[in-house]
Each structure stands twice: as C-alpha cells, then as structure tokens.
Amino acid sequence: MAVKEVSIGDIGSRAAQADEEFGGDKMLINMGPSHPATHGVLRLKVELDGETVTKCDPVVGYLHRGDEKIAENMTYNQFVPYTDRLDYIGPIHNNVTFALAVERLANLEVPPRCQAIRVLCCELARLQSHLLGCGVYGMDTGALTVFMYTFTQREKLYTLMEQLTGARFTTSYTRIGGLMRDVPDGWLGNVRKVIDEMEPVIDEIDKLLSRNRIFYDRTVGVGVISKEDAVAYGLTGPNLRASGVALDLRKDKPYLGYGQYDFDVPIGTTGDSYDRWLVRLEEMRQSIGIIRQAIDKMPDGPFYAEDAKKIFAPPKSKILTSMEELIQNFMIVTEGPQMPVGEVYFEAENPKGALGFYIVSKGGGVPYRMKIRSPSFCNLSILSKMVPGHMVADIPVILGSLDFVLGECDR
C-alpha cells in the first residue's frame, strides 16, 4: 500500500485555502423595529460572523413625533401632556422635570409642600420605571416569573396615580408654578400602605434572580461598560452608576429640596449587565426610603406659588367671584405663563437618567426653542460600541439591562 507523503507547508496552504473557502460571509440581520426584545420600536442592524456580532448599527426614530417643534407652538402649560409621552413608563417624573425647568426660567421657587409632593411623585415614578425595567429584564433573560411580581406592584402604583391625578398613565399632574391639585384625603396613607407591601416583594425579586445560576451566567461579564466609556458617551442614570461613577443629580445638584432627604446612591463595580440589575434593585429600596421620609415630613401650606400671579392660575372659587382673578386666569390660559427673556438648561435625575430641557425664551408664554435632552437617546448611542464581540443571544440581555424607552429617545 502506497503511502502519500504530505509536507507541513502543504497542510498550511490547504488550511488557509479552507479558511477562505469555508469561512463564510458575514450575515446581516435585522432586529426590530418590531421585536419583543427591543422594548418598543428600536431597530438594530447587526452584522454576524457565525453567532458573534461584528457590527451593530442602531436605527432610532420610528417613534419621532416632533415634540420639540410642537413645544415651539404652544404655551408652557399646554406642553405638559406631551411630556407624559416622553418616558411613558414613569410619566409623572417628566411632568415634574419640565415644570422645574420652566420655573428655573421664571426664577420661581415653589413652596415646600409642593416640593414634597413632587418628590413623592418622582420617587413613585422611579419605582414604576424600575419595576417595569427589572420585570422585562427578567423576561429577556428567560425568567418570566419576576415580571408577574413586578407588574402586580406596578398596578398598585397605577391606582395611586389614579387617585392623585385622575389618570392611571398619562398623568399631566404639574402646572408651571405648582400642581394640578393638592393630594386627596387619605392618599398619603395609601402610599404608605403600598410601599409597605412593596418592600418585601423587592427582596423577593432579589432572591428570585440575583443568585439565580442561569440569570447570573447570562448577565455577569456581558455588556461591560467601562467608566471612561460611560462618561465619554454621556450615559446617565443607573447605567452610568453601574459603571462606577457616583453621579446622581439628586445628590450633586439638589433640586426640590432633595438635600434634606437621607438616601444612598448605589454604584456598580464592573459595569456589566448584572451590576445594572443590582443598581436598579437598590435604587428601588432607596426610593421607598425617600417616600417614607417625604410622607413623614410632609409640610402644610399652599401647593402652588401664590405670588406668581402671571404664571399659576388662581383657584376656581376665586375665579368665579373676583374680577381680578378672572382676568388673571384668562391671561394665563390664553397667553400662557409669562416668562422672562433668556435661556436655561435644567436636568433632573429621571428614572432612566438625566432628562434635560434647554429652553430659549423671547418672553411671553411660548418657548422660542426647546430642546429635550433625552437620557435614553444617549444611553442607546453606546450600543454600536458595546454590542460587537457578543453573541446574538446576549443582545436581549444588553438591551434589557440598559432599560431605555423609545418614546423618550425619539421624542
């Protein structure tokens, strides 16, 4: 039997040839805009080498409604309902952030009771947003049960919102210089009851997933964002803090009297998807602490700035009985709250990150230009950098851990 001699060099060249022949082309796949793991209408153009992502190009804008253009065409109070539709997971926080931005333009400080109610609203919104964020994050990693737990709790928050504002979802609760109305009787007690029930559930969710082997394996070391990258890409909120940057505007640029509340800012160590989960869980516990303090310390007094005659409409009983108040109300409704000439930029710590409003005013009740700095938009811009190198199955995990909302991203 003849033996065929094969030289080493020959094998090498054949192997190279085989690589070329069987290496295969890169495949371009399209995730979204209608895909359950993309949490809305995000579309990813993903280039794959086998199962490994080599390039990722996020396409946003499917939910673009031109909110900034709309804002230039209406009075400040008329724009409040549009802010509900930015981050529609925790809508009442957008109302508060917008009102704060316009009040900064007017150089107006609202009374302590109004501030405390707004703090309550903000933290309830944070709970709403993180409950949903953690629930769907669990679903994205295959843990369906957590979603049932979180949504049951979220439902109770809807009920609280309904009692407070009359609407479960699109709250439109703030007005420039105050609120739509004071809190109803007994509402603070209801809030306390709900958060008392919620606290053990958060521990339960923690126990369900944080030490769950499957969840752990799927999230640890996946989607790592370094400190430097997080800052360079302008990430904010829990995503930034999970990367180890202790930046929380509630602590660093206190508004609404956040300085008088005692709470911690949780930060991560590695910036991976698992850290982002832990940070959100801990933020919920801190929010519950802030809500307790706000209820305990709830000051009495007016719920709107009484001296701001050209900004906040007087109470209905006075409008119907007094000429001056009637005129005041008419002017605010028709011409909008009167603002000085100038420009301001205000950011608040929304559940998703720093929501900013840049308002350029030429006086009167309508902004000349209003830019909305959306945290989800900035948080998503890092995708093209962080996704390549991961497997396709990691994409839902990364998207779930970033917790974005497209209504705010696309505006």
By CB under 8 A, name the binding residues for another protein: 60-61, 64, 66, 68-70, 72-75, 78, 104-105, 107, 229, 231-234, 245, 247, 252-253, 333-336, 340, 342-347, 354, 356, 358, 360, 363-366, 368-369, 371, 373, 377-378, 381-382, 385, 410-411
What is residue 395's three-state secondary structure?
helix
- Nearest approach in angstroms of CB 29 to another protein is 19
What is residue 20's three-state secondary structure?
helix
Of residues 114 and 355, the one with the C-beta less far from another protein: 355
Of residues 231 and 298, the one with the C-beta less far from another protein: 231
What is residue 66's three-state secondary structure?
coil
Separation in Å, CA 264 to CA 95, 116, 403: 24, 19, 21
- Nearest approach in angstroms of CB 232 to another protein is 5
What is residue 183's three-state secondary structure?
coil
Of residues 31 and 245, the one with the C-beta less far from another protein: 245
- Nearest approach in angstroms of CB 331 to another protein is 10
- Nearest approach in angstroms of CB 280 to another protein is 21
What is residue 342's three-state secondary structure?
strand
Measured CA to CA, the distance from residue 111 to residue 119 in angstroms comes to: 13
Measured CA to CA, the distance from residue 31 to residue 45 in angstroms comes to: 6
Q: Are 262 and 240 in contact (CB under 8 A)?
A: no
Measured CA to CA, the distance from residue 407 to residue 411 in angstroms comes to: 6
Measured CA to CA, the distance from residue 129 to residue 11 in angstroms comes to: 59
Of residues 64 and 316, the one with the C-beta less far from another protein: 64
Of residues 81 and 112, the one with the C-beta less far from another protein: 81
Of residues 135 and 356, the one with the C-beta less far from another protein: 356
What is residue 326's three-state secondary structure?
helix
- Nearest approach in angstroms of CB 106 to another protein is 9
Of residues 206 and 347, the one with the C-beta less far from another protein: 347
- Nearest approach in angstroms of CB 202 to another protein is 29
Residue 156 token pair: 């109770």
Measured CA to CA, the distance from residue 308 to residue 304 in angstroms comes to: 9
- Nearest approach in angstroms of CB 303 to another protein is 25
The closest alpha carbon to 175, from 36, 314, 284, belongs to: 314
